[in-house]
């Protein structure tokens, strides 16, 4: 490990605070993942756009004034996943091998799910979250004339696999910051 404060070549190097994304001076840095092995990694994230019964009905019968809102949101989510490192400062630019964005119209709004797959040295959780968030924002743009109070909520990682931490699934009985889902290294 180098004593040069500008060198962070050692992937195991962690700041005195214990955070890998901070250097020894406490400044933000992109973690060096070059020594990690390439492995298949996936992440699945979800979110919900809550809206009115009128908008739900219009989504179902495809009669929104702006056109096919679900198709626009799906494409926006896919596009956003590919641009994650431009939006999230410390995210690594990685090749995405598969990006799926699904939108399901329910009685209370639209559920959004994204699944991202890569074969790389770092995970794709941020790409999955970005896909869900931007798909939700695009959908809100398409419906704002009918429901300016629509809400994008519950954006979260549901599952991830690959890499050193193995397979992780969100516990169904816990949500948000208090979620303590277990990592199953043997799955």
Catalytic residue among 10, 108, 120, 141: 141
3-state secondary structure of 19: coil
For the record, the structure tokens of 165 come out as 């931490």
User: What are the backbone angles phi and psi of residue 172, rounded to the nearest 5°?
Assistant: -70, -20
Helix (H, G, I), strand (E, B) or coil at 147: coil
Sheet order of strands, 183-184 included: 98-106, 109-120, 39-50, 151-161, 167-169, 183-184
**CA–CA gap between residue 93 and residue 84 (Å, rounded):** 8
Active-site annotation holds for 23: no
**SS3 category, 56:** helix
Annotated catalytic residues are 141
């Amino acid at each position: 490990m180098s004593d040069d404060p500008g060198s962070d070549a050692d992937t195991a190097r962690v700041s005195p605070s214990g955070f890998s994304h901070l250097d020894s001076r406490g400044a933000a840095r992109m973690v060096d993942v070059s020594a990690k092995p390439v492995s298949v990694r996936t992440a699945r994230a979800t979110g919900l756009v809550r809206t009115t019964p009128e908008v739900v009905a219009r989504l179902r019968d495809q009669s929104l004034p702006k056109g096919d809102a679900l198709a626009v949101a799906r494409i926006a989510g896919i596009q956003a996943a590919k641009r994650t490192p431009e939006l999230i400062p410390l995210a690594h630019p990685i090749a995405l091998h598969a990006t799926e964005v699904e939108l399901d119209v329910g009685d209370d709004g639209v559920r959004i799910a994204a699944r991202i797959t890569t074969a790389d040295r770092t995970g794709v959780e941020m790409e999955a979250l970005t896909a869900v968030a931007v798909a939700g924002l695009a959908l809100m743009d398409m419906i704002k004339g009918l429901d300016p109070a629509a809400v994008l909520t519950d954006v979260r990682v549901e599952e991830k696999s690959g890499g050193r931490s193995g397979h992780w699934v969100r516990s169904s009985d816990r949500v948000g910051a208090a979620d303590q889902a277990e990592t199953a290294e043997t799955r």
